[in-house]
Amino acid sequence: LFALRLVLKRTRNSRQPIENNHSLTHSTVKEYSDLALVSAEHEHLLFTQFTALLEKSKAQQNDDRVDQATTKHPP
């Protein structure tokens, strides 16, 4: 969004028609679109890793509870 504002400001300052800057605007939008996609993919990867660690932690807690129950209360 900042880059798009910068492009529009430069267009106004140079008094050039927007058509002349279409490719610059398009490339800026494409660049930030790609950046947003990479950011979303990275966020998804982090969420997946967090979920896996959470499941591992839950499993470990369940194992600890079983160990404590069998240690404290033998059959």
Phi, psi at 65, each rounded to 5°: -65, -40
> What are the structural domain ranges in the chain?
2-72
With a CB cutoff of 8 Å and minimum separation 6, the contacts of 60 are none
Of 61, 64, 41, the residue nearest 53 (C-alpha): 61
Q: What pLDDT is attached to residue 20?
A: 56
User: Each residue of 25-68: pLDDT tens digit?
Assistant: 778 888 888 888 999 999 999 999 999 999 998 888 887 776 77
pLDDT at 17: 53
pLDDT, tens digit, 9 for 90 and up, residues 3-29: 667 666 665 555 555 555 667 677 888
Q: Is the whole-model pTM more than 0.85?
A: no
